[in-house]
Chain A
Amino acid sequence: MNIFRLTGDLSHLAAIIILLLKIWKTRSCAGISGKSQILFALVFTTRYLDLLTSFISLYNTSMKFIYIGCAYATVYMIYAKFKATYDGNHDTFRVEFLVVPIGGLAFLVNHDFSPLEILWTFSIYLESVAILPQLFMISKTGEAETITTHYLFFLGLYRALYLMNWIWRFYFEGFFDMIAIVAGVVQTILYCDFFYLYVTKVLKGKKLSLPA
């Protein structure tokens, strides 16, 4: 464990909690892409199956349960509890165009052709593009609630911190995982446009509205 990975995990946890509290407190999921949240639940489910097979540490196991629990709770709130506030008309990204090719890619490019490893690879690839429906929805509505921009900021920051973690681990431990690194770079690049808007607008107290 190093400082980049720890702050990365805490940033990820903060994002997940911010979103959960936003929906719970405002009793509304307006502006939130349910499709992205389904993809994240799928990412955690396919990545954390090793909960059943191996124990690494209390931290590792507890964080995985928290991530999975919050992800499904968020999906439940969007599609069941606060379904009336779900903005389906703007959440129209064709996720099948992501899931199917990525499923194929996970079979072709992986470290080991075993079920757990292919599912882990699938979850790594999927996570890198899972935010696209959410970013697409914001581009369609042309704006985002400020709390949603904080959610996206911490979510984007977490993988950027993981990139630093991998530089650290390569330098000090000689460890590196090309699949996770390439997917992590793609994932972080997808947030660059948002990071620019977040820093130039939201941090200056303005609302995040795309070029109107």
Chain B
Amino acid sequence: NAIRLAGDMSHMASFFVLLFKINKSKSVAGISLKTQELYVLVFCTRYVDIFWNHLSLYNSLMKVIFIALSVMIVYVMRRGVPQRSTYNPELDSFPHHWLVLPCVLLGVAINQDPTSPFEMAWAFSIYLEAVAIMPQLHMVQKHGEAENLTSHYIFLLGLYRVFYLVNWVYRYMTEDGYWQAIVWVSGAVQAVLYLDFFYNYVKSKQKD
């Protein structure tokens, strides 16, 4: 449906905005490497089914694109010259292990098929995605204010989540028996994390 597509497009746009920013400004200052690495982990654990679930060409293609773009971003941040010298590890100080560990435990404990390692990995990726933006938000707070393109990037990620939430409501009403507790609860948590950012983003845009 169109709402879901809008979500995917803003998600994809967020990658391109970030790649544009780090290529154009030659700097990754203010970007959390931890968040970007968590996204690589999210996509790699969620999309292992790319090898056997062929629901549509669109889905398979988007999975490849999401993995490739997230790996590319981490690559430029770690290896790019001069980008790698502009990274601020002292500001990227969020204790990310405390995000990953509970998500692993949750993924093992709460999933759609307790006998399947894939379902555990999949549930883990859903839980981790919900909180993966936290190191980035933490960095924005420590920095004081995010650069324009960085804030557009975060905004697009939050927007993607909002579109997906609306899409779930739509699907629940139009598709018989459509019901996804794990995804909905995690998605709602994820959206809530953006509230404070959204508020400041809109406020600063009004000021400009």
Query: Is B truly associated with A?
Result: no
Binding site for A on B (CB under 8 A): none
Binding site for B on A (CB under 8 A): none
